[in-house]
Amino acid sequence: METSLIVQSDPMMSEADSLRQRFAAAKRRRETTLSLTANENVLSESARWVGQNRHYDRYYFNGLLNDDCCYAAHYNGMQFEAFPEVVWLQAEATAAAQRLFDAPYIEYRALSGVHCTLAMIAALTEPGDGVWSLSPVCGGHFATAALVARLGRRGGFITLTDSGEIDLTALTPMLRQPPAAIILDHGLTCQGFSVAPLRQWLDRHGLTEVLILYDASHPLGLIAGGALANPLDDGADILQGNTHKSFPGPHRAIIATRSAALAARIRDGLDAGLVSSPNLPCLLQLFVTLREMACFGADYARQMCRNAQLLGAQLADLPGWTVLPTQTHMLLLQGDQSAEAAASLNELGIRVNNKMRFGHPCLRLGLQEVTRLGISDEQLGALSEILRQALLNPAIGRLRPRVQALGMQLRQVHYSFDTEGR
């Protein structure tokens, strides 16, 4: 452990000074840390500037303006302050989202990926209904089954074949108790999988009313940028997901659908107590990011995939590891020592995580953040060499200066309004 960065408390120091000193030291450390986690990204300073100021630490009800008023509005019988500039930005962001996801109905009020899943189950199904989800063994989210059970729905697991497609054969025995909804929430998306065979299978069995909810928390930025197919084109009823992975926004969620009836059910469900304040500062950051993705998302998505494939090729011959092919921003290195390697890399200053895939331990790397920070081919080569040496030799102290130097080079957020016109 790098004890030099641990701040010792001074008994004579004020509480405020102690707090500032501790986090100033942490900021210096984090400025030289490289993030290769697949579940995080970096906001642009443009998005951060709009959201992080005291003027918008307020409720935002998006109500109706009073007659002849600019700053007074009403909602549900209550009068409150209106924000015309926010209304303008929301309209711009909505138009961007409609283009990015080719869907006319967009909902922003879900506060996170898990909250989004919880809200969709509550709004679109009833207690006692069946809700199937992707098995965690195949990369499904660990929390989904627990949410299904907590809300009084009957759970069931969908599995994937070795080729990564939905195993329809395994679903046949489950037809005795068909579901009301199916949630596809894949967290190990090195390739897309088609929703169409599942939709066709349901239709053949007379289950045309079963909803397919595609949780795109991991590939959302790739879908927005056109690097992966849109599940709404493929038979999904709802596209949902959090907005801080391959989509480079804040920690919250978005929901898109082409069905007016479903949009009304979602809206009514959220209105009925599933969310109160939409967290305006964070919402503003999402609005800005949607507009950035409308401008730069195609190039960003293409470069994320390219960088993942390039890093995979550079690590392909790494002894003791199997580098799985990728078509996305995500790279999986399969190896029995993945947990130990993840701990070692995090200690070194390279943020990663490890997962299980079909019972096999993997390092899960995401290229979305370093791509947004403008990593070049030369810098990616330097990163691959650091990873190679760190994974082959646990004595990592000698690599720390190289990690710090590379981290200091990746400071500017690209594919954003930060660099527009520069």
pLDDT per position as a tens digit, 215-255: 999 999 999 999 999 999 999 999 999 999 999 999 999 99
**Of 421, 408, 303, 420, nearest to 45 (Cα)?**
420
Asked if 387 contacts 378 with a C-beta cutoff of 8 angstroms, the reply is no
Three-class SS string for the chain? CCHHHCCCCCCCCCHHHHHHHHHHHHHHHHHCCEECCCCCCCCCHHHHHHHCCHHHCCCCCCCEECCCCCCEEEECCEEEECCHHHHHHHHHHHHHHHHHHCCCEEECCCCCHHHHHHHHHHHHCCCCCEEEEECHHHCECCCHHHHHHHCCCEEEEECECCCCCECCHHHHHHHHCCCCEEEECECCCCCCCCCHHHHHHHHHCCCCCCEEEEECCCCHHHHHCCCCCCHHHCCCCEEEEECCCCCCCCCCEEEEECCHHHHHHHHHHHHHHHCCCCCHHHHHHHHHHHHHHHHHHHHHHHHHHHHHHHHHHHCCCCCCCEECCCCCCEEEEECCCHHHHHHHHHHHCEECEEEEECCEEEEEEECHHHHHCCCCHHHHHHHHHHHHHHHHCCCCHHHHHHHHHHHHHCCCCCCCCCCCCC
Task: Just give the CATH number of 84-291.
Answer: 3.40.640.10
**Of 332, 204, 282, nearest to 48 (Cα)?**
282
Q: How many CB atoms lie within 10 A of CB 331?
A: 25
**Of 41, 28, 40, 34, nearest to 384 (Cα)?**
34
- What angle separates helix 377-392 from helix 400-409, to the nearest 10 degrees? 160
Asked if 270 contacts 337 with a C-beta cutoff of 8 angstroms, the reply is no
pLDDT per position as a tens digit, 57-73: 998 888 899 999 999 99
Percent of the chain at pLDDT > 90 equals 82
pLDDT in the model for residue 1: 41
Task: Just give the CATH number of 33-40+296-409.
Answer: 3.90.1150.10
Low-confidence ranges of the chain (pLDDT < 50): 1-4
Which residue is listed with tokens 């015309």? 84
CA distance 216 to 240: 6
pLDDT per position as a tens digit, 179-222: 999 999 998 889 888 999 999 999 999 999 999 999 999 999 99
Instruction: State the pTM of this model.
Output: 0.93
**Biggest alpha carbon–alpha carbon distance for the chain:** 74
Strand pairing partners for 98?
none
CA distance 132 to 184: 8
pLDDT in the model for residue 37: 96
Percent of the chain at pLDDT > 70 equals 96
pLDDT in the model for residue 136: 94
CA distance 237 to 211: 6
- Those residues whose C-beta lies under 8 Å from the C-beta of residue 64, and which sit 6 or more positions away, are 73, 74, 75
Asked if 361 contacts 334 with a C-beta cutoff of 8 angstroms, the reply is yes
CA distance 308 to 260: 37
pLDDT in the model for residue 3: 44
pLDDT in the model for residue 28: 85
pLDDT in the model for residue 7: 53
What are residue 245's phi and psi, to 5 degrees? Answer: -115, -110
At residue 355, what is the residue type? K
pLDDT in the model for residue 10: 66
pLDDT in the model for residue 395: 67
B/e letters for 354-376, b = 16+ CB within 10 Å, e = fewer, are bbbbeeebbbbbbbbbbbbbbbe
CA distance 313 to 59: 49
Kindly list the domain boundaries of the chain, sorted by start residue: 33-40+296-409, 84-291
